[in-house]
């Protein structure tokens, strides 16, 4: 296959799954409901703590830095942090286990009314599910960004602990899911800024 055809195939796949998302009211409503949860928390003086693994960690960092820093225009800083400190992750991973890297952090700084924003493309990340349990014990709200996989632990075993689950269409590979996730993250930030009167 020629390089240009490879590129076109990727773009066509991305366009197809994006259209699936756009035309599904359940998916769209899940994003707006999650935005309302986050907006309420920030309005009440609380913070957002985001987390994920691999590419989802990069998305969690991106979400937090565009809230604490800026998205498109200058405005007041918003209280957000991602669980991405290598010293914390390697310390807890070594001493307690990799499945506790996020829950231990929430134990340290999570407060009643804060939001845990967890990202997992598979829905089966043990460190995310443990963090969900810890967040609820701490009185936090839980927002999870994931895919619409029927075999997801997040949906099958932990849905009763989650305030908002943002779903995206299932694809054979995680990269298409991650592409949708970053679009959702950017949209969330814009909604947050607008509703908080920053635009």
Gap between the Cα atoms of 63 and 49, Å rounded: 10
| Rounded Cα–Cα distance for residues 32 and 150 (Å) | 22
pLDDT digits (tens, 9 = 90+) for 66-98: 999 999 999 999 999 999 999 999 999 999 999
* pLDDT, average across residues 149-167: 91
Per DSSP, the three-state class of 79 is coil
pLDDT (0 to 100) of residue 156 = 85
In this predicted model, what pLDDT tens digit does every residue of 19-71 receive, in sequence order?
999 999 999 999 999 999 999 999 999 999 999 999 999 999 999 999 999 99
Q: What are phi and psi of 69, to 5 degrees?
A: -95, -100
The answer to whether residues 37 and 141 touch, using CB atoms and an 8 Å cutoff, is yes
Question: What burial class does residue 108 get, using C-beta atoms within 10 Å of its C-beta: 0-12 exposed, 13-18 middle, 19+ buried?
Answer: exposed
What is the C-alpha to C-alpha distance for residues 68 and 111, in angstroms, rounded to an integer? 18
Per-residue pLDDT reduced to its tens digit, 94-147: 999 999 999 999 999 999 999 999 999 999 999 999 999 999 999 999 999 999
Tokens of 73: 């225009």
pLDDT tier at 168, thresholds 50, 70, 90: very high
Structural element, H or E, at residue 136:
helix 126-137
Q: Give me the number of domains the chain comprises.
A: 1
Residues near 8 by beta carbon (within 8 Å), at least 6 away in sequence: none
The range of the structural domain enclosing residue 166 comes to 3-195
- Is there a contact between 109 and 99 (Cβ–Cβ < 8 Å)? no
Which domain CATH number covers 92?
Answer: 3.40.50.10490
pLDDT band at 199 (very low <50, low <70, confident <90, very high): low
CA dist 20 and 27 (Å) reads: 9
* pLDDT over 80 at 198, yes or no: no
């Amino acid at each position: 296959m020629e390089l240009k055809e490879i590129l076109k195939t990727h773009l066509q796949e991305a366009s197809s799954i994006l259209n699936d998302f756009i035309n599904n009211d359940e998916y769209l409503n899940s994003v707006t409901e999650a935005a309302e949860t986050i907006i309420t928390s920030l309005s009440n003086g609380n913070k957002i703590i985001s987390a994920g693994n691999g590419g989802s960690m990069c998305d969690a960092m991106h979400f937090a830095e565009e809230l604490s820093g800026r998205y498109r225009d200058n405005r007041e800083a918003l209280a957000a942090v991602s669980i991405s400190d290598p010293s914390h992750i390697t310390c807890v991973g070594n001493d307690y286990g990799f499945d506790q890297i996020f829950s231990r952090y929430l134990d340290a700084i999570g407060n009643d009314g804060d939001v845990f924003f967890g990202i997992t493309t598979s829905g089966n990340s043990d460190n995310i599910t443990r963090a969900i349990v810890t967040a609820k014990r701490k009185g936090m709200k839980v927002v999870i960004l994931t895919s619409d996989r029927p075999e997801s632990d997040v949906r099958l075993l932990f849905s009763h602990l989650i305030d908002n689950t943002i779903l995206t269409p299932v694809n054979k590979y995680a990269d298409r899911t991650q592409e949708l996730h970053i679009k959702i993250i950017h949209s969330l930030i814009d909604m947050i800024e607008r509703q908080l009167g920053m635009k």
